[in-house]
Chain A
């Protein structure tokens, strides 16, 4: 009872096990991959999830119609819905997951914490009562501690203390602040987790009281609490910590009589102290990396357990073989707060599955639509290697070979993360992204050498295209004059700078040298040799640059010399001109871009939830103008400056596209 990649993932295992499958789908998903993959498919309603994938009545009907014996809920949707599990049980249909009791117990934050405490699982130490003697309590909890206002929020009245003096000072300041901000000076103290990492333990438990831990997954690279890059194992854990975490996770699973696959999430501080966060009673998105290092098929295990079979493995059978990394490839714009959803039709789509040790879990194909109704995930790209370095190298290759056209995607960000020195060293926390990119993500920063490579590739590509456009087949009445040129002088523009490039060709190999940069001298002198097949029809450009293999992608190329290349994950716009055209370009009038401060355009496709202004209203700078909802997220759009509203071009309930004009200011 799911869609997309996870539905496909489950069906893959079902096929292997000889189990027939039924897909449920919304009407817009009628052509989706998971529907084609299934033996049978039932439409359960229109596009909005609450009327289809969350529509229990319709799904129960589908089960009855098809006579399905078991339901795998995937993740999200109804996977942790105890009501759904109950209804299935009532009709004698197997729910491939834990029983209602465990779902319920772990679904409630307070109850799950109490249960965990009872099962001797580390929870974040804290003092729930009203604090009288802060220093004493802090001493009991152990430093560092966090002092928070009881009624607080938004960082007000919140302080971190590392010793007694700081505690005294912090307590005084925080209570003053709390009193003035919230009119309530009561404070809480709890353990402060410094440099927190998000590390989770995969558990597997059967209905006979057996439980295993399948090692950890490091999921610290997050944005807005959503994971982006995960790996298994973690660079941070030593065997003792791993075992301690694993054993506590199993204790918890046993305590709630858990059966099926589940995940116990922990926060780990810089001293390797770990604290229980919550337990997810379902298959996790990032389960493939655990499968890679343990060799287990978790879906298969879930189905076996659901059927009532006992676990066949013992704890000592669970290995850590090699290293696996998962990148979540999303249809989103990474340049807008690390990823705002984007939609569109995948006009071209090639997964890098021809590379060895690469696994791609996806539920889409060329021609699929990424719509505003569902999660914008394109796929989970998993690479595997004997060592972490090998897995990372594979990931680089895989990302370079991944062809996605038609939607904006986050490959630029993924490629930057996995090549970030701090990430490579393993020194990461859940704040990695904001710490590394405090100004927001801006794409790959070119090194002087990288810039030379990019300029050389663009110039060589341009000449290849020029040469090809002179090759006409067949006999012509008026013969063509061939220009056997092997040397060119070009000007290439990149990032608002012009570079003079001279180029000579022999066969399919070009030698490119930057004679000198016009505005910048950092690239002068260097000579680059670029060779390749120069297949202008292919989305991928496998090249050898100075003898090193590199895969670039050409995203667009036009008659006026504009070329967009994907280089090291990031897209760069270049313009290649002949010397003559370059010289004359200076005479061309500059087109004045439209004044964006007086117009508000939709930054993403979505639906308008509310419009807060009407023509004639005065708005202050930063005032909310309207709210756009896309992919379950509400985004408030604000005025760039104080002005009078000239006209409003949208209404609540309307669907808008990216770049659509919403409101004009005077």
Chain B
């Protein structure tokens, strides 16, 4: 009798999960759960009598309810808003059939305002958590914050709806925050509260939309067109990251020859030192398959940061962007660069730095804003980083900004200069105006200064650059150096933690 019941019930579980396919628009991840449930049941069936059937039925019902979440109506409503349900998102993000869900039976325990009513309770408590695989590699998925400390495993937040109040600190504490355009918001206080407190009229979008946070506040690192684009991009991005701080930067199969010459680099830097060029041309030319995952492409555009691969290995790239504000360092670009360098260092990702920096941006707004403090973050980040650091000076490397940009003085492992490099305290014109203040033959002095300092030799003579290289060989040189530096081990003196100039 018991055996029969067991058989019946186990069949019941299976069909219940199958049934969930049909009712819930083809969700497949129930499959991974099924074998576990079945074995459980069979085991328990030996011990429990028929009277326990109701427990199995309750399990079925709860699981079913959890899969449907808020119900078909809510699902349709979500779709109408151009959004996917949490389960659809998880399914799209992870490899097929790889999701293993946790805590499906959790329910809230709130009893105020009628929340204890059954129809206000949802198994899984509106949250989907579990683990799965992205391109075969393990990933944990949460739809709310976990309490894991920063720096242990890379953490990425994808904001796909409104997120307000204290909850915004959950993404803020993760390593990367991505948003979906037009459907996601992040703010401490919403437009209504803003209105009542400051009398400011502002829409959700203006206050905390994707555009605001990726271009103005710098809170989010990238924005994508819609849920699907965001999730597919996230899969792509995940491939760049190591699984934890104890894993090396991942190496994928690479078809781009590591010794490929890049002839275009020989002409990329214009003759006139004042003329701009696009640092992305250099980065895309050097990296594998021209593939560069840029972080914060619309914020502090005078510095470019992002991930790429060199001979299959993930690297972090930092470059000044001469196209924007001459590539100078200011408060925002320093902070943007510093955070990125810290991430790379925390997760064993080598850093490649392309330098063309005329200096720190002068002016009261910068000084009042604390450029000293913020600039120091970048300096600190590079100095403390123990991952392989390779630096290429493409053109200007002036003064303090030169120092900050992963120079030899900050324990750079390999520092190269292109023939167009100018490592100096400042540009010829400015220098001559100071050194020869009031003198008449400034043009002549300027020419002399250019001859003496506006070239890579002074730095090379002192050993601040290891070699002056032909630009077209840059990729080849970096790939070779990364091989050598792959075994680099460097430890900083013990401390509880350093006090970064926050």
Chain A residues proximal to chain B, CB less than 8 Å: 27, 30-31, 345-349, 365-369, 468-474, 476-478, 480-483, 535-538, 558-561, 580-581, 583-585, 587-589, 591
Contact = CB atoms under 8 A, between A and B. Distances in A.
A399 to B, nearest CB: 22
A559 B136 contact: no
Given A27-B271, A469-B252, A560 B243 contact: no
Contact of A559 (B133, B236, B246): B236
Q: Chain A: interface secondary structure?
A: loop
Contacts of A560: 228-229, 232-233
A588 B226 contact: yes
Given A470-B136, A480-B137, A481-B133, A347 B284 contact: yes
B235 interface: yes
20 contacts: A367-B267, A469-B239, A469-B252, A471-B253, A472-B136, A472-B137, A473-B251, A478-B138, A480-B133, A481-B133, A537-B256, A560-B233, A584-B84, A584-B228, A587-B83, A587-B84, A588-B225, A588-B227, A589-B82, A589-B183
* Listed residue (A365, A481, A538, A588) with the most chain B CB atoms within 10 angstroms of its CB: A588
A591 B225 contact: yes
A584 B252 contact: no
Given A472-B252, A587-B84, A478 B228 contact: no
A367 B265 contact: yes
Given A347-B285, A584-B88, A537 B254 contact: yes
A468 B253 contact: yes
Contacts of A580: 26, 91-92, 96
B255 A538 contact: yes
Given A469-B135, A474-B248, A588 B265 contact: no
Contact of A476 (B91, B247, B289): B247
A583 B271 contact: no
B431 interface: no
A536 B26 CA distance: 33
B228 to A, nearest CB: 6
A591 B267 CA distance: 39
Nearest to A473: B251
B248 to A, nearest CB: 7
B161 interface: no
Interface string B280-292: 0100110011100
B395 to A, nearest CB: 15
Interface in B23-51: 26
Given A469-B239, A477-B246, A346 B264 contact: yes
B79 interface: yes
Contacts of B84: 584, 587
A481 to B, nearest CB: 5
Nearest to B89: A584
Interface in B70-96: 79, 82-84, 88, 91-92, 95-96
B289 A537 contact: yes
A559 B233 contact: yes
Interface in B289-318: 289-290, 312
Given A560-B229, A560-B232, A366 B263 contact: yes
Interface in B239-287: 239, 243-244, 246-248, 250-257, 262-268, 271, 278, 281, 284-285
Given A536-B255, A588-B227, A588-B228, A481 B233 contact: no
A282 B233 CA distance: 56
* Listed residue (B227, B239, B265, B267) with the most chain A CB atoms within 10 angstroms of its CB: B267
Nearest to A587: B79
A473 B252 contact: yes
B281 A345 contact: yes
A480 B290 CA distance: 26
